Structure 1
Amino acid sequence: MANSSSGVAVNDECKLAFLELKARRSHRYVIFRLDDENQQVVVDKVGTQSETYEDFTKSLPDNDCRYAVFDYDFTTDENCHKSKIFFIAWSPDIAKVRTKMLYASSKDRFKRELDGIQAELQATDPSEMSWDTLKSRAL
């Protein structure tokens, strides 16, 4: 079903990849993009469980927008192992204005399709989504 504000639909593959990350922990991250016709959100890249946050950030394009989910594992001060699923809206300053507007207008609808997101980040450059930023948002 298309998004009422932007007309962008969500491909079923996106929901399936997210469920695999959330339920089975089979992925470290999933990156999503708009297809070439800007008609629907599709899976751009899936990161294996062995990939790092650095691998994830290097997978984001320097000049184009993306949505992503990242499974952040951490240990609390009480030595408890936990995990939080972050939704990241990547919108670099040098991306085309029209593209940034389309991603921004489609974000909330897309995010609602991914049931189980626990935290959100919006970033326009890598410093806004540093490892320390994730860590501070997770606690």
Structure 2
Amino acid sequence: MQSMTKKKGANAASGMAVDDECKLKFLELKSKRNYRFIVFKIEGQQVVVEKLGGHEESYDDFQASLPEDECRYAVYDFDFVTDENCQKSKIFFFAWSPDVSRVRMKMVYASSKDRFKRELDGIQVDLQATDPSEMSLDIVKSRAL
């Protein structure tokens, strides 16, 4: 007989749960601007917070916190100045899937991405990257404007 218990927040299609801390920390980034970035990883059958980046951390620090050989999701609060000299910020969602990561891992991250992204209300720009050049600061700047 199948168990009727279901993980909190699990989705029947992907079977992936989203830890409440993911949503809580994202809300803090979005509304209170407590963090510059958040890196998320899939552990077992759920998405969890792996790293919180403080405001003193740079975009280089953010990129350095993504493993070279494993997939991750991340959000980054990008501050910029428009051509009209207005200070703005946009929240980027990154799906980091390096070419050298395991095929199974890439499949799990790809199949869970949209479901996870829906849990984070307020994402303004979505970027998929398979190597660091695809998420360079120049690309982020061009996508922000």
TM over 0.5: yes
CA distance in 2, matches of 1:106, 1:2: 11
Structure 2 residue aligned with 1:125 = 131
Residues 5-53 of structure 1: per-residue CA shift (max 9 Å, x gap): 2211000000011001000011000000001x2x100000000011000
1:100 aligned residue (90, 96, 106): 106
- Specify every segment of 5 or more residues in structure 1 that has no aligned partner in the other structure, as ranges: none
Q: CA deviation at 1:97?
A: 0.3
Structure 2 residue aligned with 1:66 = 72
Q: CA deviation at 1:4?
A: 2.5
Give 3-state SS (helix, strand or coil) of 1:27's partner.
coil
Q: CA deviation at 1:2?
A: 1.1
Structure 1 residue aligned with 2:28 = 20
CA distance in 2, matches of 1:26, 1:63: 28
In structure 2, give the amino acid aligned to 1:46: L
CA distance in 1, matches of 2:11, 2:64: 29
What value does the CA root-mean-square deviation take over the aligned residues? Answer: 0.6
TM-score, normalization by structure 2: 0.93
CA distance in 2, matches of 1:132, 1:103: 25
Higher Cα Rg, which structure: 2
Q: CA deviation at 1:93?
A: 0.2
Among the aligned pairs, what percent are the same residue? 68
TM-score, normalization by structure 1: 0.97
Show the 5 A alignment for 1:37-116: 37=44, 39-116=45-122
Say if 1:3 and 1:106, in contact at 8 Å, map to a contact too.
no
CA distance in 1, matches of 2:38, 2:103: 24
Structure 1 residue aligned with 2:19 = 11
Give 3-state SS (helix, strand or coil) of 2:36's partner.
strand
**How many residues align structurally?**
137
Give 3-state SS (helix, strand or coil) of 2:111's partner.
helix
CA distance in 2, matches of 1:91, 1:6: 18
